[in-house]
Structure 1
């Protein structure tokens, strides 16, 4: 276990070394993260080289709880979000850092308005210990502005968060000026427009984003991964922009599975191979199978739309199948009652399919309700215009009127035998 005070002493030995971008040595110079990596390395602790990655190390520490050896982070480049400057807290509300080009390694105060306005967070690196009495207590005494930070921390917030919310910043200024009690301060916050117009999950996300940016970043990345995985599962195709939008909704608004699926369902689409994937693909397959069994023609767009609605929870497979059966009953009125009772038109048409296959010598798999002769038989009407399917005998004769039937092996001999039998029945046999 390394002592934070020892790390601070190592850093003090670098005071006066000039800033050098990318520098990691007292001989050639330091940049901010290079100085920190060098000092912690001397203590046997390896840290990531960049500030942006370094902020993911250790545990979050509020300003009034800092101890020697804790890392302190700032956002000094307003053109880019996230931490871009790091130093090490040395106690007494001060920190040591390699500030910028043209300046040596030096000690600065957290109470300076420049650093207070750009505060991103404190982190305590695993493996570093310090005497609690050497840090936090002194940090509270450095300047009146730290009282504002302390007051913010009593409500689980950070000074950086208040700076991002003008309405709440005014409350914080008032609380410091009038020395409100924590109870009065909390009551004022709960009566603010910000509190009333944002849900608990949104408030917590906004707080985490400013109070503990490393954890917020990790939560967002986990949400992005989950968003992409769920998109694959349901067959949605998401752009990076929509992945980010969904991830934010999951983190900020606490979206549950139903809300996520409703969002993803809007982006169910065909792949470059004109297929649907995931849940949408399975739904599309089931819809097509149901449509085929019931003799209902469906377009790819219709299948996609219904699959998307199923994924979004706007309809169910049972409802889609019932709609298909209803269409089938309308298309084949002679069999409407059987279809409504659960029979499929493909099953009902099977005797006609077998006759076509046997009489014309074709595989049964090549014949279905869409075959013109079968469809004609299923949709025939009687003399009164009422639906009445063709009898199997009548249908057999219809099929035999097809020129293809006459070309079947043995048909000529079979026909001649039938003729002889007819003549014989009339007493004209020979």
Structure 2
């Protein structure tokens, strides 16, 4: 019969051993590998993986755990079921190999992370513990702890309890009653702090008081990430804005959509009404689409749409559809063609070319007043009736500016020659 205390003593020899996925030897362990290896040293055979280990032995409630019992957690909510295991050492603590990047360590069942993911305890056949005085079932007898020691047992620092008046009052009650981790978990989950604070925020608050250096390093890493996100988006953010974003990323574990929505509020024009980053890319595309559809857009409209796009409030497709609706209203004779995907600049091209040739004007497009008027002419029946190219040519040549063009001079000479030819004066 193996003693639970001896199993714990063996497990403690591997504190600091790094996590290795699939590891089951002293050079590196995963959670179930550590458990299997340590128990094997005491002649107790266990299955290799957590999913099988949880089926060994009998169930033990948390308030009846004793050294050498196994404790199980559901840390991967997507899969469901036990996927993490440790060995109970007493005093509400257990020894385990948490995850990649960490090493074998002792943690508390009262830590918020493990409280939320607790699945159950199991007593392994062939493992015993020291009998309590008076005989009977072997139970753990915990020494009386002061406030500081008890705080550590619950996985939170004394400084953290002092920073939360509600929890500080509860800790004093726990010291007086020497609550076990199960009682503590029950009481803390009934506090206003627990009910109104998300799990990530709780972890961040505890870390800030328990390990200030790590908390500040985490916050600074988030600030660096926040600045990079702002630059990429084209947002102009003050350090105060960056600090606010970093804190939300750490305390609330904001996802990409939440970060984008926050950053999008700070999309602003830089020098010469220019937007940078992703906002600048969006602005250029909006301008291009508006030009192709013959729609004039203001700087403010472009800025608003760029913000909405970065914040995820709208999509480029929705912006384009809005521009098409505007174009259909501006050019009713071509509404069906525009709705079908036609470009107003393409529809206006024959008129633009004629106007450019006749008046010798470069850069003529759908925004030119004469072209726009030709596209939007109203017929005698009050309905849209675009000019034919013949009518448009006559309109252009009636412009005084046309008479000053080389084309007009050439036409006048040609008419003159024809008149003289008709009179037989020239051949």
Query: Shorter-chain TM-score category?
Result: 0.5 to 0.7
Offset at 1:360? Answer: 1.4
Gaps of 5+ in 2: 1-142
- CA RMSD of the aligned region, Å? 2.0
- The answer for the alignment partner of 1:400 in structure 2 is 397
Secondary structure in structure 1 of the residue aligned to 2:272: coil
1:190–1:413: structure 2 CA closer, same or farther, 3 Å change rule? closer
- The answer for the alignment partner of 1:311 in structure 2 is 310
CA distance in 2, matches of 1:397, 1:376: 14
- The answer for the alignment partner of 1:381 in structure 2 is 378
CA distance in 2, matches of 1:282, 1:148: 58
Deviations 1:138-168 (A, max 9, x none): xxxxx98x62222212222110000101111
1:422–1:196: structure 2 CA closer, same or farther, 3 Å change rule? farther
Secondary structure in structure 1 of the residue aligned to 2:405: coil
Offset at 1:223? Answer: 0.8
Check conservation: 1:148, 1:173, Cα contact below 8 A: yes
CA distance in 2, matches of 1:300, 1:221: 35
Q: TM-score, normalised by structure 1?
A: 0.63
Residues 7-406 of structure 1 correspond to what in structure 2 (within 5 A)?
A: 147-363=146-362, 366-406=363-403
1:429–1:387: structure 2 CA closer, same or farther, 3 Å change rule? farther
Moved over 6 A (4+): none
CA distance in 2, matches of 1:312, 1:158: 38
1:415 aligns with 2:412: yes
Q: TM-score, normalised by structure 2?
A: 0.63
Deviations 1:97-155 (A, max 9, x none): xxxxxxxxxxxxxxxxxxxxxxxxxxxxxxxxxxxxxxxxxxxxxx98x6222221222
CA distance in 2, matches of 1:196, 1:340: 52
CA distance in 2, matches of 1:258, 1:323: 23
CA distance in 2, matches of 1:273, 1:171: 59
CA distance in 1, matches of 2:233, 2:280: 8
1:147–1:327: structure 2 CA closer, same or farther, 3 Å change rule? same
Check conservation: 2:360, 2:405, Cα contact below 8 A: yes
Secondary structure in structure 1 of the residue aligned to 2:207: helix
1:383–1:422: structure 2 CA closer, same or farther, 3 Å change rule? farther
CA distance in 1, matches of 2:245, 2:175: 39
Q: How many residues align?
A: 283
